[in-house]
Chain A
Amino acid sequence: MSLTRIRLLVWKEFLQLRRDPLLLRLLLLMPIIQLVGFGYVVSVDVRNLPTAVVDLDQTVVSRQLESSFTASGYFLVVARPDAETQLTSLLDTGVAKVALVIPQGTQDLLARGQTAPVGIVVDGSDSQIASVGSGYAAQAIARFNASRTAAFTGSLQAPGIDARTRVVFNPTLDPINTMIPGLVAAILMISLMSIMSQAVVRERESGTLEQMFVTPIRPSEYLIGKVAPYALLAVAQLSVVAAIGMLWFKVPFNGSVWVVFVGLALFLLISVGLGLLVSLISRTRQQAQQALVFIMIPTMVLSGFIFPIESMPEAIQPLTYAVPLRYALTVLRGSFVKGSGFEALATPLWAMVGFAIVIFGAAVIATRRRIAE
Chain B
Amino acid sequence: MAITGASPAAPAVSTQGLTRRFGDVVAVDGVDLVVQRGAVFGLLGPDGAGKSTLIRMLATVLLPDAGEALVLGHSTASEASAITGRIGYMSQRFSMYPDLTVAENLDFFATVRGVPKQVRRERSAALLDSMGLAEFGGRQARHLSGGMKQKLMLATTLMHEPELLLLDEPTTGVDPVSRREFWRVLAGLHRGGTTVVVATPYMDEAERCSAIAFLQDGRIQQQGTPEEITALVPGTLVEVSGADPRAALAALADLPGVGSPHVFGEVVRVLWEGSLASVEGAITTHLRAAGFPTVRVTPTRVDMETAFAVLAEAGR
> Residues on A close to B: CB < 8 A?
5, 8, 12, 15-16, 19-20, 206-208, 210-211, 213-217, 370-373
Q: Which of B22, B59, B95, B104 contacts A206 (CB 8 A)?
A: B95
Q: Known A-B contacts: A207-B91, A213-B61, A214-B88. Give 16 more (CB < 8 A).
A: A8-B111, A15-B104, A16-B100, A20-B99, A208-B96, A210-B56, A213-B59, A213-B60, A213-B84, A214-B60, A215-B84, A215-B85, A215-B113, A216-B85, A216-B112, A216-B114
Q: Which of B22, B62, B100 contacts A15 (CB 8 A)?
A: B100
Contacts of B99 in A (CB 8 A): 16, 19-20
Check A214/B97 contact, CB under 8 A, given A5-B112, A8-B112: no
Q: Which 5 A-B pairs have the closest CB atoms?
A: A207-B95, A214-B89, A215-B112, A211-B95, A207-B93
Q: Which of B87, B109, B114, B140 contacts A211 (CB 8 A)?
A: B109
In the assembled complex, the CB of B43 is this many whole angstroms from the nearest CB of chain A, namely 17
Contact (Cβ within 8 A) A372 B62 = yes
CB-CB nearest in chain B for A371: B61
Check A12/B108 contact, CB under 8 A, given A215-B84, A215-B113: yes
Q: For the complex, give the distance between the alpha carbons of A20 and B89 in Å.
A: 28
Contact (Cβ within 8 A) A12 B97 = yes
In the assembled complex, the CB of B197 is this many whole angstroms from the nearest CB of chain A, namely 14
Interface residues of B in 133-182 (CB under 8 A from A): 140
Q: For the complex, give the distance between the alpha carbons of A272 and B254 in Å.
A: 71
Contacts of A208 in B (CB 8 A): 95-97
B81 at the interface (CB under 8 A from A): yes
In the assembled complex, the CB of B109 is this many whole angstroms from the nearest CB of chain A, namely 7
Contact (Cβ within 8 A) B112 A16 = no
In the assembled complex, the CB of A219 is this many whole angstroms from the nearest CB of chain B, namely 12
Contacts of A370 in B (CB 8 A): 61-63
Contact (Cβ within 8 A) B96 A214 = no
Contacts of A211 in B (CB 8 A): 89, 91, 95-96, 109
Check A214/B59 contact, CB under 8 A, given A8-B111, A12-B108: yes
Q: For the complex, give the distance between the alpha carbons of A321 and B112 in Å.
A: 42
Contact (Cβ within 8 A) A8 B81 = no
Check A210/B84 contact, CB under 8 A, given A8-B111, A15-B104, A216-B114: no
In the assembled complex, the CB of A191 is this many whole angstroms from the nearest CB of chain B, namely 20
Contact (Cβ within 8 A) A206 B98 = yes
Q: For the complex, give the distance between the alpha carbons of A314 and B85 in Å.
A: 58
Interface size class of B (residues with CB under 8 A): 20 to 34
Q: For the complex, give the distance between the alpha carbons of A215 and B111 in Å.
A: 10
Contacts of B84 in A (CB 8 A): 213-216
Check A214/B87 contact, CB under 8 A, given A16-B99, A20-B99: yes
Contact (Cβ within 8 A) B108 A8 = yes
Check A216/B81 contact, CB under 8 A, given A210-B61, A370-B61, A371-B61: yes
Contacts of A214 in B (CB 8 A): 59-61, 84, 87-89
Interface residues of B in 101-115 (CB under 8 A from A): 104, 108-109, 111-114
> Residues on B close to A: CB < 8 A?
22, 56, 59-63, 81, 84-85, 87-89, 91, 93-100, 104, 108-109, 111-114, 140
CB-CB nearest in chain B for A9: B112
Contacts of B91 in A (CB 8 A): 207, 210-211
Contact (Cβ within 8 A) A207 B100 = no
Contacts of A15 in B (CB 8 A): 100, 104
CB-CB nearest in chain B for A16: B99
Q: For the complex, give the distance between the alpha carbons of A8 and B115 in Å.
A: 13
In the assembled complex, the CB of A22 is this many whole angstroms from the nearest CB of chain B, namely 12
Q: For the complex, give the distance between the alpha carbons of A15 and B107 in Å.
A: 13
CB-CB nearest in chain A for B95: A207
Contacts of A207 in B (CB 8 A): 91, 93-95
CB-CB nearest in chain A for B111: A8
Q: For the complex, give the distance between the alpha carbons of A238 and B212 in Å.
A: 59
Q: For the complex, give the distance between the alpha carbons of A208 and B84 in Å.
A: 15
In the assembled complex, the CB of B141 is this many whole angstroms from the nearest CB of chain A, namely 10
Contacts of B56 in A (CB 8 A): 210
Contacts of B89 in A (CB 8 A): 211, 214
Enumerate 6 A-B pairs (CB-CB under 8 Å) in ascending A order. A12-B108, A207-B95, A216-B81, A216-B84, A216-B85, A371-B61
Contacts of B113 in A (CB 8 A): 215-216
In the assembled complex, the CB of A91 is this many whole angstroms from the nearest CB of chain B, namely 59
In the assembled complex, the CB of A234 is this many whole angstroms from the nearest CB of chain B, namely 22
In the assembled complex, the CB of B33 is this many whole angstroms from the nearest CB of chain A, namely 19
Q: For the complex, give the distance between the alpha carbons of A20 and B85 in Å.
A: 31
Contacts of B104 in A (CB 8 A): 15
Q: For the complex, give the distance between the alpha carbons of A372 and B21 in Å.
A: 10
Q: For the complex, give the distance between the alpha carbons of A207 and B156 in Å.
A: 14
Contacts of A213 in B (CB 8 A): 59-61, 84
Contacts of A216 in B (CB 8 A): 81, 84-85, 112-114
CB-CB nearest in chain B for A209: B95
Contacts of A215 in B (CB 8 A): 84-85, 109, 112-113
In the assembled complex, the CB of A73 is this many whole angstroms from the nearest CB of chain B, namely 54
Q: For the complex, give the distance between the alpha carbons of A228 and B50 in Å.
A: 38
CB-CB nearest in chain B for A7: B111
In the assembled complex, the CB of B4 is this many whole angstroms from the nearest CB of chain A, namely 24
Contacts of A206 in B (CB 8 A): 94-98
Q: For the complex, give the distance between the alpha carbons of A207 and B59 in Å.
A: 14
Contacts of B140 in A (CB 8 A): 19
Contacts of B97 in A (CB 8 A): 12, 16, 206, 208
Contacts of A20 in B (CB 8 A): 99
Contact (Cβ within 8 A) A217 B112 = yes
Q: For the complex, give the distance between the alpha carbons of A61 and B15 in Å.
A: 99
CB-CB nearest in chain B for A206: B98
